[in-house]
Structure 1
Amino acid sequence: MTTNEHMVELALERIGEGYVFPEKTAAIETAIRGRLAAGAYEGLDGPALCETVTADLQEVCPDKHLRLLWTDEPQSTAPVDDDGGEAAFRALLREENQGIRRVERLEGNVGLIELRLIATAAEGASAIGAAMQLVAHSSALVLDLRGCRGGSPEGAAMWCSYFFPDDQVHLNDIYDRCTDSTRQFWTVAHLPAPRYVDRPVHVLTSEVTFSGGEDVAYTLQAHGRAVVVGGTTRGGAHPTARHAVAEHVLVTVPTARSINTVTGTNWEGVGVVPDLPVPADQALEEALKAISRRTM
């Protein structure tokens, strides 16, 4: 067995063990093994292999979280070190200021928070609270998720909690295949900064906005707490584990699915559809116009 064949077989094993829709794994295995037998992956270098296998996976099962990823940082392939990518994600969050790119006060006393990642609630609480403290006395808030590429469900619930008056709002549920259990996500009772209620909130989105960023946008929109402005998001609603199948190759396996308590569904495959659809580069301008009209 070649190295590429071995990596693909390990990836299929992980998908079979953990994919949130087990009824789809047989079709995935049949399609990918057919491509293996046809020699489709022979001679491909790591990045090309990841790109080709991902395209084949998503052709048979269009789940944007289901993919092979190349990483420049070597990963341990020892089973004892396999934590589903959690340690690497926490390290990334620390490098990127818990996902908070900037906090500003704009003209008209409008607060702006730009996020690139959604931090975990445990490690990100202080940074999230610091950002919310800086906008606590603004008249309106813009939450810029146009470049937000994912993150933690617990962190998404914490961000959303700031925009509701108490801990009595049932935001969403997540069904996990591995444990065959459903976890409820409610607004958080105790937050390290004041809640942001009774003031307008606009969320900016783009075709880049993904996963955890979509979670925040979709949840606030569904509960009527924010107006979404910009472009339709990428459409990835399945919490995902990452497993190393080689030092530089990861397979990402959606192991759970989100269920919004208002809509009964999620944004998988369709994205978050904005209330005010405009090109992403015009979203901030459009949101500020909407805020101005509302506060006049």
Structure 2
Amino acid sequence: MATPASTLATDTAATTSTSAHANFDAARARRLTLHLADMIEDFYVIPSTAHRYAEALRTNVAAGRYDDCANDDDFGARVTADLQAVAVDRHLRLMTEAAVQKRMAPPVAGIAAPKSEQASPDMPHGIEAMAMIGANHDIAYLRFNQFSQDPASGEAARRFLVTHANARAVIIDGRPLRGGGLLPIDAMLPLFFDRTTTLARLETRAAAVAKYPEDPSPTLILQPSTPDIERLDHVIQPDAHETRLRNVPLYFLTSSRTASAGEHFALALRSTKRGVQIGETTAGAGHFGGFEDVGEGMSVFLPIGQTVDTRTGQGWEATGIAPDIAVPADDALRVALARLGEGG
């Protein structure tokens, strides 16, 4: 998503106010907040909520709410807290550009994979492990920390599954999976279905689609839409060449940190009844978008769309997706293996 080209909004608050912190520019904060309000109102995924966010920010600017921030980090945190007080959105936040860069860095190791499944240095981006596990090495195991949009990642995952298509089960470990895109999903899931299947629906703010057009994906099929919202169904075709995995047990391991594209994957398995989710309820980050430049060293993660269940029209923002089998994340792999007759 490219940066919105709209100019910064005119500062309409009183300009005689002075900041309690000499190094913090209150006029700049008001200017940036008003611009942020315009961005959210124009492009945020839910129009009615977008208006509420924008009005709250404008009211706060008029009241001098951000004039006495200690620094830019404090400014971003205060604006974010005010937005979350209007409506919870696990993605929407104002941050410094430095904080964004830190956030985009590779994740710190959390829940450990079994020693034999540790990632090798040449693993494709987003993949921590691909290995055959179990007493007879007949269970295919893949572990992701991100669903990377690098085609090499999805291709590597598919190649591993095809190479080991005689596996008696597949375990996809998404406990550290913090988000990403659809390419790995599109690469893997056609191996597990025997017919054309709708996985989920993406609803995107129409103004954002018009402003930031993207190359169409063959797996996203346009559905009847409205002037405000474009609707696309995520649809996969069965793999034309490999059929051996269509009926094997499929498990997806989750933690409270499994987010965004990882939750999209969980919803796809839930709505199609194709797999079993084991672990913890996911993070509840159901909206998608990207970091956008607000100006003068500040950026916002601006959610422009959401994924919903085609059966109910409901997403999972702020609630997460509950597992089929609820266990602590650290125990999820052990439980999956036990269901497959592994271990004591």
Tell me the TM-score range normalised by the shorter chain.
Answer: 0.7 to 0.9
Alignment of 1:71-150 (within 5 A): 71-72=97-98, 97-108=124-135, 109-120=138-149, 122=151, 124-150=153-179
**Is residue 2:66 matched to residue 1:35?**
no
Partner of 1:66: 92
Bigger RCO (CA 8 Å, 6+ sep): 1
Partner of 1:8: 33
Contact 2:155 2:184 in 1 (8 A): no
Distance 1:187 1:3 in 2: 48
Deviation at 1:273, TM superposition (A): 0.3
- Which one-letter code corresponds to 2:202 in the other structure? I
- What is the SS of the residue equivalent to 1:113? strand
- Which one-letter code corresponds to 1:8 in the other structure? T
Contact 1:135 1:141 in 2 (8 A): no
Contact 1:239 1:255 in 2 (8 A): yes
Partner of 1:218: 267
Of 148, 162, 168, 2:191 maps to 162
Deviation at 1:291, TM superposition (A): 2.0
Partner of 1:24: 49
> Structure 1: where are the runs of 5+ without partners?
76-88
Partner of 1:171: 199
Aligned length in residues? 280
Distance 1:266 1:192 in 2: 33
- What is the SS of the residue equivalent to 1:176? strand
Query: How high is the TM-score relative to the length of structure 1?
Result: 0.82
Alignment of 1:143-292 (within 5 A): 143-166=172-195, 168-178=196-206, 179=209, 180-188=229-237, 196-246=245-295, 248-292=297-341
280-289 vs 207-216, which moves further: 280-289
Distance 1:116 1:192 in 2: 28
User: For the aligned residues, what is the CA RMSD?
Assistant: 3.2
Distance 1:230 1:98 in 2: 24
Shift in alpha-carbon separation, 1:192–1:101, aligned structure 2, 3 A: farther
Partner deviation per Cα, 1:191-213 (whole Å, 9 max, x = no partner): 89776321111111111011100
Query: How high is the TM-score relative to the length of structure 2?
Result: 0.71
Deviation at 1:258, TM superposition (A): 1.7
User: Higher helix fraction: Structure 1 or Structure 2?
Assistant: 1
Contact 2:123 2:129 in 1 (8 A): no
Q: In percent, how many aligned pairs have the same letter?
A: 28
Distance 2:76 2:241 in 1: 41
Deviation at 1:113, TM superposition (A): 0.7
Partner deviation per Cα, 1:39-85 (whole Å, 9 max, x = no partner): 4433332333222222211110112122223443889xxxxxxxxxx
Of 74, 77, 82, 1:56 maps to 82
- What is the SS of the residue equivalent to 2:231? strand
Contact 2:190 2:239 in 1 (8 A): no
- Which one-letter code corresponds to 1:245 in the other structure? V
Partner of 1:81: none
Partner deviation per Cα, 1:189-236 (whole Å, 9 max, x = no partner): 558977632111111111101110000012112211111111101112
> Structure 2: where are the runs of 5+ without partners?
1-10, 12-26, 107-121, 210-228
Contact 1:156 1:215 in 2 (8 A): no
Shift in alpha-carbon separation, 1:122–1:104, aligned structure 2, 3 A: closer
Distance 1:5 1:195 in 2: 60
Partner deviation per Cα, 1:111-142 (whole Å, 9 max, x = no partner): 21111111237564423323434543321111
Shift in alpha-carbon separation, 1:53–1:160, aligned structure 2, 3 A: farther
Distance 1:127 1:45 in 2: 44
